[in-house]
Amino acid sequence: MRADRLLSLMMLLQTRRQMTAEELADELEVSKRTIYRDIDALSVAGVPVYANGGPGGGYALLDSYRTTLTGLNKDEIRALFMLTIPGPISDLGVNQQLKAAILKLTSSFTDDHYEHADYLRQRLHLDATSWFQTDEPVPHLKTVQEAAWQDRQLVLSYRRRNGTVSERTISPYGLVAKASIWYLVAAADQGMRVYRVSRIEAVQMSQTHFARPQDFDLAKFWTDWVIGYKASLPKYPVTLRIGPDLIPVLPYILGEGIRSVIEQAQPDSEGWRVVDHTFERIEEAQTYVLGMGASVDVIAPEELRISVLKLATDVVAHYSR
């Protein structure tokens, strides 16, 4: 382990040119005292590392010293560094190994070709979390991943949407990250199933191996499953009359798909437009309609008009007290 750390330290100094002991300790996830010992070990081994004292100082290698591990072109190194952009992959706990691997791969670049991670990080950032969505804790993700890696069955306690918990034995085929939410694709007694990893209450990797079908394609299965899942969702079609002040911001409320619907709707003499939209259920429609206030009229269905009126009346009565 120390040999790997010494190599990583040397590669860091070669690529970053100069770093303080604190910066090296943070990057390698060790103490500053360990860095001091590693610097001494490199010096004993003949690596020309020296210290610049004072403000702005740090450790550096002689300019003439360079190790050559590999060679990549400019576009290839940029693509490699994109792997270090924060995202769901960090949940798998491979950040440090990935950074070390990329550091070794790119250490041979000269100044005119080298673009390090800090350079890219200032120009590209990935926020995989959807609006108003918090990250879900996935304490069992690594166990699930390891079982999928080794083609070993899992015994897990799974919490359903309604809160009930059941135990089942499954064969984990693969993991999918969608908008920072992890899903497990697995074979169960009832056939292929998709489980939300954050709902796994407990998990144990068994010693039993399973045979993965050679023609199984995880990406294709996921694409087909998403299409089927969307088609199976409850549908609640509504007809709304939208006020002119709400029209410009409606795509931000109901999604970009409503934009073309608005453009096709002809405004009346007051600038209002009638549009059709589909919610999953009446409760979702109520929430959106109430949030849009007096800038929207419910044309249909009648039950939605009645439920919105009742809710609004209850709210007024509540706050009038």
pLDDT in tens, 73-115: 556 656 666 666 666 766 676 566 666 666 666 555 555 444 5
Q: How many whole angstroms separate alpha carbon 280 and alpha carbon 257?
A: 15
More confident: 73 or 212: 212
Chain CA centroid to CA 148, Å: 20
pLDDT class for 195, splitting at 50, 70, 90? very high
Q: Which residues of 45-68 are buried (b: 16+ CB within 10 A; e: fewer)?
A: eebebeeeeeeeebbbbeeeeeee
What is the third-level CATH fold of 2-61?
Arc Repressor Mutant, subunit A (1.10.10)
Over the stretch 116-154, which tens digit does the pLDDT of each residue have?
556 666 776 677 676 666 678 889 999 999 999 999 999
Over the stretch 214-270, which tens digit does the pLDDT of each residue have?
899 999 999 999 999 988 888 999 999 999 999 999 998 998 889 999 999 999 999
Distances (CA, A) of 135 to 56, 79, 177, 181, 203: 37, 26, 12, 8, 20
Q: How many angstroms separate the first and last alpha carbons of the chain?
A: 68
| Beta strand spans in 179-221 (E) | 181-188, 191-196, 200-209
Q: How many whole angstroms separate alpha carbon 290 and alpha carbon 292?
A: 5
The three-state secondary structure class of 186 is: strand
Measured in residues, the chain has a length of 321
Closest CA to 272 of 301, 291, 290, 292: 292
Contact 206, 169 (CB under 8 A): yes
CATH 3.30.530 fits 141-232, yes or no: no
Domain residue ranges of the chain, discontinuous segments joined by +: 2-61, 74-121, 141-232, 236-320
**What are the phi and psi torsion angles at 203 (to 5°)?**
-150, 145
Q: How many whole angstroms separate alpha carbon 152 and alpha carbon 135?
A: 28
pLDDT class for 71, splitting at 50, 70, 90? very low
Contact 92, 174 (CB under 8 A): no
Q: What is the largest CA-CA distance in the chain?
A: 86
Contact 103, 8 (CB under 8 A): yes
**Taking the alpha carbons of 8, 10, 11, 17 in that order, is the dihedral positive or negative?**
positive
Chain CA centroid to CA 129, Å: 6
14-28, 188-202, 204-218, 292-306: which has the minimum mean pLDDT?
14-28
For the question of whether the overall pTM of this predicted structure is more than 0.85, the answer is no
Q: How many whole angstroms separate alpha carbon 74 and alpha carbon 137?
A: 37
Q: Enumerate long-range contacts of 265-268, CB under 8 Å, 24 or more apart.
A: none
Who's near 312: CB < 8 A, 6+ residues apart?
290
